[in-house]
């Protein structure tokens, strides 16, 4: 599979500067029994930690991180380059002057933080969550060791009990500290309770009501305009991904509408805008849901074509804009672009014309116009196919996956034709080793329309987004794209579904 274009963006280059006042920060850290000579201060943004500062460590484990520009609100960590180990996390909010003392024997149990009550509370929060997780793991380990018959039920019961403990801790904290940064972290992790549906509602409508309630309250109490939401060690990233991948209906129109709503909530938070838009595009490109390229096009036109993608260099910006230009005409419901290609019978005449040895566009132009009448008689047009359904497959003789898919397509083709389905296969060879191509067709008895771009009249890569093979499109009788990038085993089901839809 080709990696999405956005994979090329260097994440570290996306870290920008925040709009905060120039007061500076001072984080004094003392780690008993430390053997480090230096330690690194890192900040979590979206899914990864990024280096913020480096400090020398004296023989007593003391270090000071200091800077003239205040730190963004967020979860930070102390990292040991020597041991390639994360020592511990802590939070920075309003207070930019903290003193942290701890011990390598047990970082959190021995930790004390002064300078910020909330930073100190965060240590208690981490310790509580860690203790509950350890309790769960030890319980499960003990149950497995005993090999009890009802072990699954026992573990589920224990998990429920622990969930209630955690839920109580969270709700109690939120009640006492509703506007704190830890409250934001908790809300990002908590699932909102869904109440019972209104009395008298039909049973068939209850599930829909509960879903709509869950969706509409998913972001309750979370200020997406707050930079601290972004800097939460994967928590925000995972919640956002779950919303777009699991909560929302996987339809490009739905995702487009919700993306507008999320971006509006982000407001003027440029860093959050950058990461959210970038990752919506990245995940849309990775999606295996057919038709999701419409969401790619939507995001591309709204944020990239309009040059709001300030985090990209010109090269990567242009790549995305070009990708959008290629994808837009190929969206489901659009009429496929015509292809005028040469079938196997035209290869020998083209060789006689010398077209197979041409290496420049100038030579091709001369040869084409010198032989225009003869060439045009040989061209096979996609638009000339008379069938209710056209299966257009782009393939290569040397493609291992194609060798598996082509026989499946052939079997489906013969089966459906025998059943009376009005269909045709327009098989486009994407390379130029025509001897191999003709031999493969003959050996495998491919009795459909076999064509290749032997005159180089079509840019298949751009015209049909062909960057790997095989690629399958299904067109209706008007050559409108009804399905795309499906597996060979899906062809029959898709066509039958379209027939049923047309009859209904």
pLDDT at 168: 93
When pLDDT is averaged across residues 451-477 and rounded to a whole number, the result is 94
Helix 151-176 and helix 117-146: axis angle, to 10°? 170
318: pLDDT strictly greater than 70: yes
- The residue with greater pLDDT, 94 or 30, is 30
Q: Where are the alpha helices (DSSP H) in 179-269?
A: 181-189, 203-216, 227-230, 235-242, 252-266
Yes or no: say if 74 and 228 are a contact pair by the CB < 8 Å rule: yes
Cis status of the peptide bond prior to 308, with omega within 30 of 0: no
Rounded distance between C-alpha atoms, residue 370 and residue 355, angstroms: 11
Higher-pLDDT residue of 61, 191? 61
Q: Poorest-confidence range of 153-162, 163-172, 182-191?
A: 153-162
Instruction: Spell out the alpha helix ranges (H) of 419-468.
Output: 434-444, 460-463
**β strands within 60-96, DSSP E:** 62-67, 74-80, 85-92
pLDDT at 102 over 50: yes
pLDDT of residue 14: 44
Contact 35, 3 (CB under 8 A): no
Question: Residue 465 corresponds to which tokens in the numbers above?
Answer: 């987004």
Asked if pLDDT for residue 12 goes beyond 70, the answer is no
Which letter, b or e, does each residue of 105-138 get, where b requires 16 or more Cβ atoms within 10 Å of its Cβ?
Answer: eebeeebebeebebbbbbbebbeeeeebeeebee
Q: Is residue 344 pLDDT above 50, yes or no? A: yes
- 492 to each of 81, 111, 311, 423, 472, how far by Cα in Å? 57, 64, 44, 11, 13
Query: With bands split at pLDDT 50, 70 and 90, how would you rate the model's confidence at 19?
Result: very low
**How many distinct helices (H) and strands (E) make up the chain?**
17, 15
- Half-sphere exposure (Cβ direction) of 267: Cα atoms closer than 13 Å: 7
| Cα gap 129→168, rounded to integer Å | 12
pLDDT at position 372 over 80: yes
CA distance 494 to 490: 6
Q: 141 vs 57, which has greater pLDDT?
A: 57
Number of neighbours of residue 34 by Cβ within 10 angstroms: 23
The predicted-structure confidence for 192-227, as pLDDT tens digits, reads as follows 889 999 998 998 899 999 999 999 999 999 999 999
pLDDT of residue 20: 38
Over residues 291-300, mean pLDDT: 97
Q: For residue 192, what pLDDT is reported?
A: 86
Task: Provide CB contacts within 8 A for 20, sequence distance 6+.
Answer: 69, 70, 72
Helix, strand, coil percentages, rounded to 5, for the chain: 50, 20, 30
pLDDT of residue 442 exceeding 70, the answer is yes
Predicted TM-score (pTM) of this structure: 0.86
What mean pLDDT do residues 235-260 have?
Answer: 96
**Alpha carbon distance 486, 41 (integer Å):** 47
| Residue 241, both tokens | 């991904």
List, in sequence order, every beta strand (DSSP E) within 306-457. 340-343, 379-381, 389-395, 423-429, 449-452
Q: CA-CA distance, 188 to 173, in Å (whole number)? A: 14
Which residue did the predictor score with more confidence, 18 or 491? 491
Tell me, what's the pLDDT at 236? 97
Q: Using alpha carbons, select from 373, 456, 399, 464 the residue that is nearest to residue 426.
A: 464
List the structure tokens of 415.
């089966």
Contact 73, 89 (CB under 8 A): no
Taking every pair of C-alpha atoms in the chain, what is the biggest distance, in angstroms?
88
């Amino acid at each position: 599979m080709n990696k999405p274009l956005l994979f090329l963006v260097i994440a570290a280059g996306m870290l920008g500067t925040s709009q905060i006042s120039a007061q500076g920060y001072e984080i004094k850290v003392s780690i008993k029994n430390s053997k480090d000579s230096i330690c690194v201060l890192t900040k979590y943004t979206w899914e990864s930690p990024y280096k913020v500062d480096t400090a020398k460590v004296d023989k007593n484990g003391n270090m000071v991180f200091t800077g003239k520009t205040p730190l963004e609100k967020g979860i930070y960590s102390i990292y040991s380059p020597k041991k390639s180990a994360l020592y511990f996390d802590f939070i920075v909010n309003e207070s930019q002057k903290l003193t942290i003392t701890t011990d390598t024997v047990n970082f959190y149990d021995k930790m004390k933080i002064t300078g910020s009550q909330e930073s100190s509370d965060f240590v208690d929060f981490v310790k509580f969550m860690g203790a509950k997780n350890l309790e769960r793991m030890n319980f499960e380990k003990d149950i497995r060791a005993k090999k009890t018959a009802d072990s699954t039920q026992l573990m589920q019961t224990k998990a429920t009990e622990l969930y209630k403990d955690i839920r109580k801790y969270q709700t109690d904290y939120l009640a006492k500290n509703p506007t704190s940064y830890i409250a934001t972290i908790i809300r990002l992790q908590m699932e909102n309770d869904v109440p019972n549906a209104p009395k008298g509602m039909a049973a068939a409508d209850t599930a829909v009501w509960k879903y709509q309630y869950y969706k509409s309250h998913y972001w309750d109490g979370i200020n997406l305009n707050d930079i601290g939401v972004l800097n939460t060690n994967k928590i925000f990233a995972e919640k956002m991904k779950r919303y777009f991948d699991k909560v929302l209906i996987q339809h490009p129109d739905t995702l487009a509408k919700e993306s507008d709503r999320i971006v509006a909530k982000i407001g003027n938070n440029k860093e959050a805008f950058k990461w959210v838009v970038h990752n919506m595009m990245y995940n849309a490109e990775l999606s295996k849901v057919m038709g999701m390229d419409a969401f790619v096009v939507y995001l591309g036109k709204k944020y990239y074509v309009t040059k709001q993608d300030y985090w990209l260099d010109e090269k990567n910006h242009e790549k995305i804009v070009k990708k959008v230009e290629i994808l837009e005409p190929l969206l489901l419901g659009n009429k496929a672009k015509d292809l005028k290609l040469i079938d196997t019978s035209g290869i020998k005449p083209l060789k006689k014309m010398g077209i197979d040895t041409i290496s420049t566009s100038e030579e091709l132009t001369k040869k084409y116009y010198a032989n225009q009448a003869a060439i045009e008689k040989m061209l096979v047009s996609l638009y000339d196919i008379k069938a209710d359904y056209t299966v257009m497959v782009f393939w290569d003789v040397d493609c291992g996956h194609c060798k598996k898919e082509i026989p499946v397509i052939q079997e489906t083709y013969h089966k459906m034709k025998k059943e009376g389905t009005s269909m045709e296969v327009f098989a486009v060879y994407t390379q130029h080793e025509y001897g191999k191509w003709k031999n493969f067709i003959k050996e495998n008895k491919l009795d459909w329309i076999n064509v290749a771009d032997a005159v180089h009249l079509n840019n298949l890569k751009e015209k049909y987004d062909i960057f790997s093979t095989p690629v399958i499109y299904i067109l209706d009788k008007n050559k409108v794209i009804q399905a795309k990038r499906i597996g060979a085993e899906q062809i029959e089901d898709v066509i039958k579904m379209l027939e049923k839809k047309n009859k209904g």
